[in-house]
Chains A and B, each alone.
Chain A
C-alpha cells in the first residue's frame, strides 16, 4: 500500500528538549476538508498524526469477526457498530479504533465523540495500543477497551476508566466469554473472534 507522503520517525534526539506544539483536531479537520490526507491513513493521537499500519491477515480476520458478531448482536438498533472510523474523543485526539460500539445518533456532519466499547486488534503488544490509546480512551471515559492480541490469542480487557487510566485490566484467553459492560446480555465468545 502506497502512502503519500511517507511518514517519518520523529528524531526524538534531535528535538529533545524542544517544546513541540501538538496539532489540534480542529486543525486536522480543516486540512482534511481540503483533501490533504486523501490517500493516507492515520490517526491523530495526542496532537500527532500517527500512521496506521496495514492490517495483517490475522488482524483483519479478528476485526471482521468481531465487527460482524457485534453488528448481528445490535441488529435491534440499541447501538451502532463502526470499524476503523474516526472517534472524535478529545481536542487533540481522533483515533480510529478497529471496532467501536457507539451510541445511536446522526453522524453525518460530525464524528461520534464517545463509545460504549472500543477494540484495537494488534499482532504484537505495541505501546501505541497499550499505553497511548489506553490513556486516550480512559481520559475520554470510554467504559470498556479491549486490546486483542492475535499473536498471544488473548483479549486484554480494560474497564473502570479513572484519572487517565483503566483501574481494572484483565487478560482473557480461549474458551472464555466476555459480556459487555454496557450491554451485559451481549456475550462475545473469544473463540469466535480469534483464529
Chain B
C-alpha cells in the first residue's frame, strides 16, 4: 500500500456516466502473479477491485466453528477452503469465508465452483446478498449461505438458475441445516453464532 493510503474512499460520483473498463479475471490473475495485491485484502467483483471488510470476533468465530465442524463431518468426501480464491466467473474472483469443494478441486487451478459457499456478514450483508449471490449463482454454486451475524440468522440460497437463486430462505438460531450436497451433514446455526449478551432481545 505504498501509494494509496488505506482509508481513502473514492468519490465515485466523479465517474458517474463514464464508461469504465472492468478487469477480467485473467487480468486480475496476471496482476496477482506479479505480487500486485500481496499485502492487501481485495476481491474482484464484477471487474472491480473491492476491499474486503476487516474481521471482527463474531466473524472469525463463525468461520472457525464452521470450518472445524465441516472438516470433521466431510472428512474424505470434500475439501474445505477458508478465505481462498474462487474463480467464480470471467469477471469475478472472490475469496469466500468458506467453500466446500470437490475432493480433487484446487489442484491445477483455483476452483471455479463449489458445493457450498458461506459468507459471514457483519457489515457486508448488502454486498453478500446483492452482489455475491448473483456471482455464486452464475458460477453454479449449488448452495450459498449468508450468515447474518447482526440478525442471528442464516440466509440460505438454493437452486441457482439464470444468475439468481430461485429459493432464498431465512433460518434462525434454533434451526439446523442439512447440506444440499451431503444431506447427512447437519449444521446447527446456534453453534456458529456467539451468544448474545444477556438483556439483548435478539
Contacts and interface: CB of A to CB of B under 8 A. Distances in A.
Contacts of B36: 24, 27, 30
Contacts of A8: 19-22, 46-47
B20 A48 contact: yes
A11 B12 CA distance: 10
Contact of A131 (B14, B48, B50): B14
B54 to A, nearest CB: 11
B63 to A, nearest CB: 21
B151 interface: no
A14 B130 contact: yes
A49 interface: yes
Contacts of A127: 14, 16-17
A19 B4 contact: no
B9 A49 contact: no
Interface in B84-128: 126-127
A22 B4 contact: yes
* Chain A CB within 10 A, most for which of B10, B21, B30, B49: B21
A50 B14 CA distance: 12
Nearest to B47: A8
A40 B21 contact: yes
Contacts of B12: 10, 12, 15-16, 20
Contact of A20 (B18, B30, B31, B50): B50
A109 interface: no
Given A27-B36, A50-B15, A92-B4, A19 B51 contact: yes
Interface residues of B, number: 35
B3 A91 contact: yes
Contacts of A30: 30-31, 34, 36
B131 A10 contact: no
Contact of B4 (A15, A24, A45, A51): A24
B40 interface: yes
Interface in A127-163: 127-128, 131-132
* Chain A CB within 10 A, most for which of B14, B18, B51: B18
Interface of B: 3-4, 9-10, 12-24, 27, 30-31, 34, 36-37, 40, 42, 46-51, 126-127, 130-131
Given A9-B19, A14-B130, 10 more contacts: A8-B19, A10-B15, A12-B13, A15-B131, A20-B51, A21-B37, A24-B3, A30-B31, A36-B27, A46-B10
